[in-house]
Amino acid sequence: MEANICLETSQPYYPVPGGRGITAGPMTVPDQRRSMLRIALVPVIVVGLAVLLLGPQADAGSEPVPAVSHVVKAGETLWSIANAHTAPGEDVRRTVALIRAANGMQSGTVRAGATITIPVDEIPGWSRSAGS
């Protein structure tokens, strides 16, 4: 009795160390779950990117904040500038925080000759307790 050995297969052959091979079989449950997860994540990622990129534009149409410009003089600090623009009885720390927010400052350092914006009114979204 002679056995016919067929080396042709309809499925790909993946050799592994040790001389054994694995043929690609039907998709397993974890593979199906991974594929479904990828399909589900694509719209979530697209919506997230859209919100991230278009979100700041939604705020662009909000009301402008009344402000004055101030040119920093030698010897002035952000604290001294904020103190001069803080109403009596108000917290200077809050004014410092408002000035930093209005100018996008990462620190409280100001340089002589720099022009900074000082908000005259409340910045929308700030409450009395937000800066303290």
In a domain, 9, yes or no: no
CA 88 to chain centre: 37
- Asked whether residue 79 falls in the same domain as residue 111, the answer is yes
Task: Write out residues in the chain with pLDDT < 70, as ranges.
Answer: 1-29, 55-65, 121-132
Strand partners, 67: 119
Strand partners, 23: 13
Please state the domain count of the chain. 2
In a domain, 4, yes or no: no
- Asked whether residue 56 falls in the same domain as residue 86, the answer is no
Largest Cα separation within the chain, whole Å, is: 108
- Asked whether residue 87 falls in the same domain as residue 112, the answer is yes
Residue 108 sits at φ, ψ, to 5 deg, of -95, 15
In a domain, 77, yes or no: yes
In a domain, 88, yes or no: yes
Given this model, what pLDDT does residue 55 score? 67
Task: State which residues form the domain around 83.
Answer: 67-119
What is the rounded CA–CA span in Å between residue 62 and residue 97? 20
Token pair recorded at residue 28: 């397993």
Q: Which residues contact 18 (CB under 8 A, 6 or more apart)?
A: none
